[in-house]
Amino acid sequence: MSEHDDGMLDRARTWLAQDPDGETRAELRALIDSAEAGDDAAHDELADRFGTRLAFGTAGLRGRLGAGSNRMNRVLVAQAAAGLAAYVRETAGDDATVVIGYDGRRNSDVFARDSAEIFAGAGLRAVMLPRMLPTPVLAFAVRALDAAAGVMVTASHNPPDDNGYKVYLGGEDGGAQIVPPADQRIAAHIQRVADDGDIAALPRSLAFTTAPESLIDEYIAATAAVAPAPPASDGLVWVYTALHGVGWQTFSRIIEDAGYPAPVVVEQQLAPDGAFPTVSFPNPEEPGAMDLAFEAARTSGADLVIANDPDADRLAVAIPDAEAEGGWRRLSGNEIGLLLGWRAARIAADDGETAGASLACSLVSSPGLATVAEHFGLGFHATLTGFKWISRAPGIVFGFEEALGYLVNPDTVRDKDGLSAAIAMLGMVSEARARGASLGDLLREFADTFGHFASDQVSVRFDDVSQIAGIMAVLRERHPQAIGDVDVDRVDDLLHGDGDLPPGDVLRLWLADGSRVIVRPSGTEPKLKLYLDVRGDSADDAAARIAALADGSRALLDGLR
């Protein structure tokens, strides 16, 4: 056995000695025994688990559950909690507040309690939410409790075997997700804790408190107030699915407070279940995830379908469409974002509050939002991907990203919120009903008013993440001269920033016909993504342009793989 192998086994044994979880201890013990006996598969598995460390970054932590430094587990979470505690004490004082929330994924409650005990053991005022709740409730709690930081244990819409650790900061950050350099400073503290060794030596305390139900009531009231039901909501038939997540218990109360009719619910997906038994991938963007909701919609003759992802920070919407398979079509994130942006801009204009107000979206989202902002005299900001950036746009009244994330109530939650976005959408639909229009009609009215925008996405999943870095390097070295039959006019490389944009691993290609292609690695999955946007003279022209651009983009990627 080589020195490298000896070192890997030593790391595994050290990890085993401090692991407080019986399940992951047994899992790791079996792998060590098999590797020591010469099992190559066990050796490779240990190398994957201990060859690196799950990186703490601007999305916090996210990864597969299991033993090892490259997995989500109680050892890694304890190190993260202790590192975050050190950062909070350093920046906000020894008696600062940290609030902790969790969703219905496997081990979310365990990771949350470990964190609360370690925060309290560090002398901080630790407050745990009273039960599994949506991520937006945790983001709200950071502001409402004037906390220095917040932690949400969730992997959002990732596969069932994943979990994560999302960090928010209070104070001047306003309850938004962490950005550099805070993430780097927290990561340095976490590494020091890991280097010190045994997590059993970390001080713990049971002196944490549980947040009162009144905190949840405040969030529900503020969210219901986003769009109280107009009279035309009477008779609205709609379907809701929680995709086995934590959205329904909170959302049902918001619906009642706002005055909307109760939805037809997808019973099989209503209760939290970390195994996600009815879907292969708990993401409403994935094929098949909303099939049960579409079935319920066909049976009930619904006007629309609304879905949240498992931690309810994202919103999906579908409408009847005779040309779609099964008669229902899920709207794209850009379509929803542009409708909600139109709503927000109109409200700001009607209230005479356009001065200093702005709309914001990630740079990979539809440029149509800039057109809406200009139409109503609002400012506009394009940011790097993620609500950690969108939520910080000056004067923001609405923000979105094409991955089904929407910020419609920035005074309440400085993050994407699938529940407040759902209420805003119900309000739009109900107002349209009052004049005999549907959600499909609203989309056509938007195009008539602002232009025919079309978007698409081409993404490729890789087993080896290094391949993604290789492709990005090739594209930087040799910019494509054309995509399909359209010449590339210029390329913006955002690796070192661009104007108001901080550095990001992003290439933005502008084509001769005004189309745009943005290339970036996914921040949460081993994917390379190309975001495509066109503006056509008509709906048919936009559809033809986006189809041709998608074909050309796929050909470009095929030539690089």
Catalytic residues: 156
Show the tokens assigned to 355. Answer: 């001065």
Q: How many angstroms separate the CA atoms of 418 and 404, rounded?
A: 8
The DSSP secondary-structure symbol of 460 reads E
**Measured between alpha carbons, how far is residue 328 from residues 207, 303, 395 in Å?**
51, 10, 37
Q: How many angstroms separate the CA atoms of 59 and 151, rounded?
A: 11
**Strand (E) positions, 314-423?**
315-320, 328-330, 358-362, 379-383, 396-401, 405-407
Helix axes 439-450, 333-350, angle to 10 degrees: 70
Q: Are 26 and 45 in contact (CB under 8 A)?
A: no
Show the tokens assigned to 290. Answer: 């909303």
DSSP state string for 104-143: SSTTHHHHHHHHHHHHHHTT-EEEE-SS---HHHHHHHHH
The DSSP secondary-structure symbol of 235 reads T
**Measured between alpha carbons, how far is residue 7 from residues 38, 40, 49, 53, 76 in Å?**
16, 16, 13, 15, 19
Burial environment of residue 197 by CB neighbours within 10 A (0 to 12, 13 to 18, 19 or more): exposed
Q: Are 154 and 108 in contact (CB under 8 A)?
A: yes
Helix (H) or strand (E) holding 47: helix 40-50
**Measured between alpha carbons, how far is residue 5 from residues 8, 29, 165, 464 in Å?**
5, 16, 30, 22
Q: Are 18 and 197 in contact (CB under 8 A)?
A: yes
- Compute how many other C-beta atoms are within 10 angstroms of the C-beta atom of residue 185: 16
Residue-wise over 536-546: b if at least 16 C-beta within 10 A, else e?
A: beeeeebeebb
Q: Are 35 and 43 in contact (CB under 8 A)?
A: yes
Q: What is the CA radius of gyration of the chain?
A: 24
In the chain, the amino acid numbered 81 is: A
Burial environment of residue 467 by CB neighbours within 10 A (0 to 12, 13 to 18, 19 or more): middle
